[in-house]
Amino acid sequence: MNIIINDTNITLQTDDGTSSHILLTKPDIADYGNVTTRPLVKSYHLVRETIWERFCECVQEINEHCRHDIHCGCYLMTFGPLYTALLSNSQAKNILYYGKKEASSFLSSLQDFMTFLQADSSLVSLPLHPLVFSGLANGSWHAIVMDLDAGCNIRTVCDAITKVRKGGILLLYTALDAPADDMAGLLHHAVKTAFSSCTLYTFTMEPSLCELLYPYSAEALVLTYTEELLTHAAKVNSLTQNILQGEYLPEDCRYAMELLTTAEKDLLALYDYLEDPCLPVYANTLKEALMDCCIGLSDGTETQVYLDKLRLAAQIFFTAIESEF
């Protein structure tokens, strides 16, 4: 991908030159004093660098460092709406990113531009988990950027939208031909921008979106995963009791540990909603007790001590689950 920069706009162009897209036309923004021209120390000399110059530099860095990433065009396309959002006023901005680790160069350039504008601005990268947004305060972020190709489902996206403050933006990008079927209805309400193999969907947070998102609220999301958590817990309880009664099968033990790994992640994501904050710890303790039992039984060593630990860990975990839910 090629980038054409002049004094008034930045244009993206495919390598073969057959298609182009205007990334950004230089806006006529208000003069925010030291925000519009920030001093920068380079090689012990004071250099004056404008916002437009730094923005163009960051765009070129992304294109250079992410050239072999299929999402390179997506990263560049997000910079246009983010430029406008970041310069909407002179206050510090906070942005969330939900996507793959391969985007590290993009995030580095975005962070560089954000702190150039305002040193107190923050960029937070979230772990990939469908419940990760549920513990965040509603309406608290200026912008959220999400990679639709990172396994986002409609509930995660809708929960993310509720975390954007009024007038803020949610940017969803993809390098795939079409989004998941369950996303089509939601994405119909976004502003769609496509270039080459990349597509960007932009939502602006406004009251009309709230009615659209109600069925996918954080409350609905939590209830859905709570039901799944209880189903997994019941399976783990059955498998654990079989082991304690001498009906040991290695594959059952491994399956129980897999279920507990998922349960632990879900409990951590639900942490702000739990009355007992130790539940994730209890899940991890039971998983370790199962692992010790599995190893001991496989080796044929004295296993009574492992079984006793497993019985105690199971009692603590399932009592806590019953009390919580």
Local confidence pLDDT in tens for the 325 residues of the chain? 889 998 888 999 988 888 899 998 887 765 554 454 554 544 444 556 788 888 999 999 999 999 899 999 999 999 989 998 998 888 899 999 999 988 999 999 999 999 988 889 999 999 998 778 877 888 899 999 999 999 888 878 888 888 999 999 999 999 987 777 778 878 888 999 999 889 999 999 887 786 677 666 566 667 777 888 999 999 999 999 998 888 878 888 899 999 999 999 888 877 777 889 999 999 999 999 999 888 887 777 667 888 899 999 999 999 999 999 8
Residue among 90, 1, 105 at smallest CA distance from 51:
90
CA 248, distance to chain mean position in Å, is: 39
C-alpha to C-alpha distances, 127 to 97, 121, 292, 314, nearest whole angstrom: 9, 20, 29, 29
Contact 95, 140 (CB under 8 A): no
pLDDT at 305: 87
* Contact status, residue 171 vs residue 201, Cβ threshold 8 Å: yes
Alpha helices in 136-180 (DSSP H): 154-161
Residue 310, pLDDT score? 93
The CATH code that applies to domain 218-324 is: 1.20.120
Spatial distance between the Cα atoms of 162 and 213, rounded to a whole number of angstroms = 8
104: amino acid identity, one letter:
S
What's the pLDDT score for residue 265? 86
Q: What pLDDT does 113 receive?
A: 93
- Hey, what are 29's tokens? 């923004």
The pLDDT, as a whole number, for residue 270 is: 78
Tell me 95's DSSP state: E
C-alpha distance across the termini of the chain, in Å: 53
CA distance 229 to 61: 44
Paired residues of 164 in beta bridges: 141
Instruction: Identify the CATH number of the domain defined by range 59-215.
Output: 3.40.50.150
Q: What pLDDT, on a 0 to 100 scale, did the predictor assign at position 41?
A: 45
Parse the chain into domains and list their residue ranges: 59-215, 218-324
* Topology agreement, domain 59-215 and domain 218-324: no
- Per-residue pLDDT at 214: 62
